[in-house]
Amino acid sequence: MSKKVAVYGMLVALAFLLSYVETLIPFSFAIQGLKLGLANLVVITALYCVGERGAFAVSMVRIVLTGLTFTSLSVMLYSLGGGLLSFFCMVLAKRFTSFGITGVSVLGGVTHNLGQLLVAVFVVHTGSLLYYFPALLAAGTVAGALIGLLGRMVTERLRPFLQQGV
């Protein structure tokens, strides 16, 4: 049990650290709020190394900690919407398709952006925000592919160590 807690603690700490690092990177395009999703590297690795429950816990704890530390409650709401939709779509893709880690990550990147956009439409009460979706689709695909490629490399190296502790 103590090994499991240590592994999850390390994963949350790493995801939290990568979220912080991402706030330091001046990365802005025409759409406000676009990010690389570095912390999702930890989530995708956890999904393949420690399982769905553990990865879900890591993802949700990271979103809440990041929201309370670096952003606001409203930003945390958008992150939770994107994170929940993304996570459940990644789990379904992992279970029922032949997608590899990179494909699952791309789906996660795209659906994270979609989830945030749907929360924004609900909060602002206007469907015109959906015009951003093509740009967010492209951004989610590129970021998801990069995170997926890195995730595959990290997972191959860490799986034996992380599975021992859980």
CA atoms of 13 and 67, how far apart (whole Å): 14
Higher pLDDT, 33 or 146: 146
Instruction: Report the 10 Å Cβ neighbour count for 79.
Output: 23
Give the pLDDT band (50/70/90) at residue 58: very high
The domain limits of the chain are 2-165
CB-count burial class (<10 Å; 0-12, 13-18, 19+) for 133: middle
CB 129 within 8 A of CB 117: yes
| Terminal-to-terminal C-alpha distance of the chain | 8
Is the pLDDT at 86 greater than 90, yes or no?
yes
Higher pLDDT, 88 or 127: 88
CA atoms of 1 and 69, how far apart (whole Å): 28
- pLDDT of amino acid 109: 95
Structure tokens that stand for 12 in this block:
């949350």
pLDDT (tens digit per residue) in 98-132: 899 999 999 999 999 999 999 999 999 888 888 88
- pLDDT of amino acid 32: 67
Structure tokens that stand for 67 in this block:
């929201």
pTM, two decimals, is: 0.90
- pLDDT of amino acid 165: 57
Cα torsion angle, 88, 102, 23, 15, sign: positive
Q: Which fold has domain 2-165?
A: Arp2/3 complex 21 kDa subunit ARPC3 (1.10.1760)
- pLDDT of amino acid 47: 95
pLDDT (tens digit per residue) in 30-44: 666 677 889 999 999
Beta strands in the chain (DSSP E): none
Instruction: Report the 10 Å Cβ neighbour count for 146.
Output: 18
Give the pLDDT band (50/70/90) at residue 78: very high
Residues contacting residue 30 through CB under 8 Å, at least 6 positions apart: 135
**Average of per-residue pLDDT across 84-99:** 94
